Structure 1
Amino acid sequence: MNPRVEKILKIDFPVLTLQFKNGEIKNFSCEPYLDKGFFRELQNVQYFSKAKVLDGTVAWPHEQDFCPDTLYLESHPTTDLLETYEDLRELRAAKEQAAGQKPVPLHEVVAELGLQPRLADGMQ
């Protein structure tokens, strides 16, 4: 069983940035589904923005939803939201929760994401 959606971090039509229960942050594009019967209503940007997390998946008011496995398997990792220290702290907290509260050092989260740590201006 793949991880379920914990929260929607960003809605940028037609892409949802999702945080999964294991702490991963991934982008899911709904574009391939927008011209398919039941999902056509999602073409309306205003309606699309009404996406909510429901029972580990993403759903809309008129009961459109995606299989949680589809959301996980067809989404792609992203680091575009990890612009601030707070974002990294939230990701670390999610990873700690997924690991049963085992502490996860911040530098490990940074390394896992393949990011280069930057020192503040004037620091060596």
Structure 2
Amino acid sequence: MTNNEEKTKKLAADYTAAWNSRSPDAVASFYASDGKIIINRGDPWDGRTGVAEMAAGFFADIPDLALKCDSVRIAGDHAAYLWTFSGTHASTGKTVRVSGWEEWDINDEGKVQSSLGWFDSDDYARQTS
């Protein structure tokens, strides 16, 4: 395994732990200060403040959210982070299990510069209603 692969796999493991800490700021700390995430072609969440807001929204919807890293694929400074989260929807009390992925561009400091996130929002809506 190359040094880059080791660093990226550690980034993925630590990012997973940040989500499981349920701290929006911990999740945001993995992004460059001017980084961003776009989920399902939606509006971008810009900077660490935006990323923290995005994470806080997920934690509000699924307060007991548990994230699992299913796999990581690495190509230079680009990675695919495949994940599954589960938990209980705050409003409906229904159990939720959703899989998806993020496509990361990683900067020279080892932070996520840009992430494109994907999951089946129709399936999520079915599970939560």
The TM-score, its normalising length taken from structure 2, stands at 0.28
Q: Greater strand percent: which structure?
A: 2
Quick check: which has more Rg, 1 or 2?
Answer: 1
TM-score normalised over the length of structure 1: 0.29
